[in-house]
Copies of this chain bind each other. A is one copy, B any other.
Amino acid sequence: MKNLKGALMFAQSGGPTSVINASAAGVFLEALDTDAITAVYGAAHGIRGVLNEEFYDIGKEDRKELELLKYTPSSALGSVRYKLKDASVDDTDYKRILEVFKKYNVRYFFYNGGNDSMDTCNKISKFLATSGYDCNVIGVPKTIDNDLFGTDHCPGYASAARYIATTIMEINLDAKVYDTPMVCIIEAMGRNAGWLTAAAKLANHKGLGADLIYLPEVDFDLDKFVSDVKNVCAKNNGKCIAVVSEGIHDKDGKLICEYGASVGRDSFGHAQLGGVGATLANIIKEKTGYKTRGVELSLMQRCGAHLASKTDVEETFEAGKQAVRAAVAGETDKMVCYVRKDTENYEIEYKLLPLELAANTEKTVPLEWIINDGTDISDDFVKYALPLIQGEAKAPLEDSLPRFAKLKKVFVEKK
């Protein structure tokens, strides 16, 4: 545990969320008020900004705009999908990071992201330590997927869940409006973890949810799906609402979205998913003759900040502040995490978890919560998720449209 004096470098990585900037706001506002931190930098486009020596001087920003970051969706500094090689294979990038950190006396490095980003953060932390360069490295979690190990839930998840639940309630009313059969298949994000799809259950809890919910934690069988939909329609005047995760796959591991269209792969080798709702809508139409509609919640579920959960915004903001306090107190190589207290009313504590535990381990929905032959979620999920989506927190309005943060983004002059 070393107490260091120097600059702080903060970077955002991976897919953005509605509230990722709330962590940035927490880090920036806390760091600007911390004596040990001599300058606050925000890397442009994650680790690439460090490698390219492109980062913003956060000290030049208006504090009012930094406060507005709490309600501004997407990564304000820009994000990146860039996988560092293992240092044992190729340490070029690591050496460059060390060089940049030395040049600007960066003694605090914070990486804000999901599984892959925690892996990146962990590798950098280990390399810096091995190199003997004193720099406290903290991972700040972020992912709508809610799949980071070691934390009760992930910053960003609850706002996406609130968006999904609210939107499904509205779609429920819309999709059932005609007196003719209609099957609506809604697609939520989530490759391997069904947390986002499970959020449909919150809409069910309010009586306006989905008839069928399919998570990627269990194998998906197309014939069974067709039969499930037919059974619901038979009982329900031809109406059925199904919510499916983009990552549902058959017992051989083949993605259901691949049944319909070709897909690409991103730089981490993940298949670029999407279109499973439309694919299934077409299949059901063909097999039943019913009118169908595939609805993809698409980018909206991760950027719909106007429906952010206040609980999520405040926790995410605080996670940023906690990261600064921990680092300044000498902590390093850790990720901030949430631990839910065993109290009657929902409460959390902020703790630190070794980065290697957080990196690359995916936390999926417990199999025992997936019920009714893989078509429903138990109330355990509602008990878990409902406290997380409480409260509203959104940008002030200007002409009744959101007034998001406007950063000056003044680059630090290259040395």
- Which positions in A face B, CB cutoff 8 Å? 16, 44-45, 48, 72-75, 78-81, 162, 165-167, 169-171, 173-180, 184, 202-203, 205-206, 208, 274-275, 278, 293, 295-296, 298-300, 302-307, 309, 386, 389-392, 397-402, 404
Contact, CB under 8 Å: A178 / B299: no
Alpha-carbon distance between A80 and B166 when the two chains are bound, in angstroms: 25
A389 cross-chain contacts in B, Cβ below 8 A = 399-401
Residue A179 contacts which of B48, B184, B298 (CB distance < 8 angstroms)? B48
A48 cross-chain contacts in B, Cβ below 8 A = 179
A174 cross-chain contacts in B, Cβ below 8 A = 16, 73-74, 299, 302-303
A81 nearest in chain B by CB position: B178
Contact, CB under 8 Å: A178 / B404: no
Seed contacts A170-B402, A295-B296; 9 additional CB < 8 Å A-B pairs: A16-B173, A48-B179, A81-B178, A167-B300, A171-B299, A174-B303, A206-B398, A206-B402, A278-B278
A162 cross-chain contacts in B, Cβ below 8 A = 400-401
A300 cross-chain contacts in B, Cβ below 8 A = 167, 170-171, 295, 300
Contact, CB under 8 Å: A400 / B392: yes
Contact, CB under 8 Å: B178 / A401: no
Contact, CB under 8 Å: B399 / A390: yes
Alpha-carbon distance between A390 and B391 when the two chains are bound, in angstroms: 23
Residue A79 contacts which of B178, B306, B392 (CB distance < 8 angstroms)? B178
Instruction: Report the 4 A-B pairs with minimum CB-CB distance, sorted nearest first.
Output: A74-B173, A174-B303, A45-B179, A170-B303
Alpha-carbon distance between A79 and B174 when the two chains are bound, in angstroms: 10
A16 nearest in chain B by CB position: B177
Contact, CB under 8 Å: B203 / A401: yes
A16 cross-chain contacts in B, Cβ below 8 A = 173-174, 177
Contact, CB under 8 Å: A404 / B296: no
Contact, CB under 8 Å: A401 / B166: yes
For A72, A173, A398, the residue with the greatest tally of chain B CB atoms inside 10 Å of its CB is: A173
**How many copies of the polypeptide does the oligomer hold?**
2
A184 cross-chain contacts in B, Cβ below 8 A = 299
A74-B296 contact, Cβ under 8 Å, with A171-B303, A303-B171, A401-B169: no
Contact, CB under 8 Å: B392 / A397: yes
A17 nearest in chain B by CB position: B174
A392 cross-chain contacts in B, Cβ below 8 A = 397, 400
Shortest CB-to-CB span from A302 to chain B, Å, is 7
A296 cross-chain contacts in B, Cβ below 8 A = 295-296, 298
Alpha-carbon distance between A343 and B415 when the two chains are bound, in angstroms: 58
Contact, CB under 8 Å: A45 / B206: no
Alpha-carbon distance between A389 and B169 when the two chains are bound, in angstroms: 23
Alpha-carbon distance between A72 and B75 when the two chains are bound, in angstroms: 33
Contact, CB under 8 Å: A305 / B170: yes
Shortest CB-to-CB span from A152 to chain B, Å, is 18
Alpha-carbon distance between A299 and B291 when the two chains are bound, in angstroms: 14
A173-B72 contact, Cβ under 8 Å, with A166-B306, A296-B298: yes
Q: Could you give 30 example pairs across A and B, Cβ below 8 Å? A: A16-B177, A48-B179, A74-B170, A74-B174, A75-B177, A78-B178, A79-B177, A79-B178, A80-B178, A81-B180, A166-B401, A167-B304, A173-B404, A174-B299, A174-B302, A174-B303, A205-B399, A206-B399, A206-B401, A206-B402, A208-B404, A278-B278, A293-B299, A295-B300, A296-B298, A309-B400, A386-B399, A389-B399, A389-B401, A392-B397
A45-B178 contact, Cβ under 8 Å, with A170-B303, A300-B171: yes
Alpha-carbon distance between A296 and B400 when the two chains are bound, in angstroms: 23
A203 cross-chain contacts in B, Cβ below 8 A = 401
A401-B306 contact, Cβ under 8 Å, with A74-B173, A298-B296: no
A180 cross-chain contacts in B, Cβ below 8 A = 81
